[in-house]
Amino acid sequence: MSAPERIPPRSVTTAELLAEGELTVRGRIREASNAVLLCDVTYEGRKVSCVYKPVAGERPLWDFPDGTLAQREVATYEVSEATGWGLVPTTVLRDGPYGEGMCQLWIEPEPGGAELLALVDGEEPGEGWKAVGFAEIGEGRTALLVHADDERLRRLAVLDAVINNADRKGGHLLPAPEGRLYGIDHGVTFNAENKLRTLLWGWAGEKLTPEAVEVLERLRDALGGTLGVRLGELITEAELDATRARVAALLRSGRHPEPSGEWPAIPWPPV
């Protein structure tokens, strides 16, 4: 008789852990504009920290009347996964102590990460930086707002163009270990109207990288298949159509989008 085959322990994915684990609230993040709770989640011996944003804690927004912020955050994660760039921490919809909401893996901030944003004197961004626009900094003075010429930010700029992010601030960029960079806070995305409001205008009008073109082609196909079906559960039909149209427009122009007004739409304050 041969020895019984050993069954390797089933590995739990982070998404499963976040969706199925037991959620314990540890505290509330004070500076947030909506209810953002820091939690522990435990499942089959694994424990991680996450943020839990219950739908019940969302402030209604007149220009985003449909769906919930939580659903848009999950939709953004799904698009990020389809790009293969992994720009958004794992995010799921689930029930919790304050009802349905989104749960997102907590990213421990990396101290001393590279500077991503700066205000500089003069008209030129300088080596390694991209210009965003001029900003009033008080007492009648202006400074040039710049962001790093960083390929991770450039990918995020493409993701934001696809999801139509209306709020990409500096504080929503989280440098993490192993050279990773995550974007967070994607509640105001996927509007059917153009609402791109971001700091990452540095590549506006420039040609997309070949890598970005490849990713957008993949997204176009995915939006016609399983990704489209999944997003259809999270955003409206009109928003899904607009997402497909944005991907098609990016592929047609082959360029990073440009601000529609004379001034770039920048969230203020930028951090």
Residue numbers at the binding site for ligand ADP (CB under 6 A): 29, 32-34, 36, 51, 89, 104-107, 171, 174, 184-185, 187
Minimum Å gap between C-beta 57 and ligand ADP is 9
Minimum Å gap between C-beta 106 and ligand ADP is 4
Binding-site size for Mg ion (CB under 5 A) equals 1
Minimum Å gap between C-beta 33 and Mg ion is 6
Integer CA distances (angstroms), 137 to 120, 144, 145, 252, in order:
11, 10, 10, 38
Match 């993490």 to its residue by tokens.
176
Class of residue 100 by CB neighbours under 10 A (exposed 0-12, middle 13-18, buried 19+): middle
- Which residue lies nearer to ligand ADP by CB, 133 or 187? 187
Q: Which stretch binds Mg ion (CB under 5 A): 2-10, 48-56, 178-186, 187-195?
A: 178-186
- Which residue lies nearer to ligand ADP by CB, 184 or 266? 184
Minimum Å gap between C-beta 248 and Mg ion is 30
Residue 164 falls in which region: left (phi positive, over 0), alpha (psi -120 to 50) or beta: left
Task: Could you list the beta-strand ranges (E) of the chain.
Answer: 22-28, 37-43, 46-54, 91-94, 101-105, 117-120, 129-136, 142-148, 173-176, 180-183
Q: Which helix (H) or strand (E) holds 253?
A: helix 237-253
Question: Could you give the CA distance from residue 146 to residue 154 in angstroms, rounded to a whole number?
Answer: 13
- Which residue lies nearer to ligand ADP by CB, 14 or 209? 14
- Which residue lies nearer to ligand ADP by CB, 133 or 175? 175
Q: According to the binding rule CB under 5 A, does residue 150 interact with Mg ion?
A: no
Task: Give CA torsion, residues 235, 240, 243, 248, to 10 deg.
Answer: 170
Q: According to the binding rule CB under 5 A, does residue 185 interact with Mg ion?
A: yes
- Which residue lies nearer to Mg ion by CB, 78 or 185? 185
The answer to whether 73 and 231 have CB atoms below 8 angstroms apart is no
Residue 89 interacts with which of ligand ADP, Mg ion, none, CB < 5 to 8 Å by class: ligand ADP
- Which residue lies nearer to ligand ADP by CB, 58 or 239? 58
Minimum Å gap between C-beta 185 and Mg ion is 4
Closest C-alpha among 72, 247, 70, 266 to residue 162: 247
Minimum Å gap between C-beta 268 and ligand ADP is 15
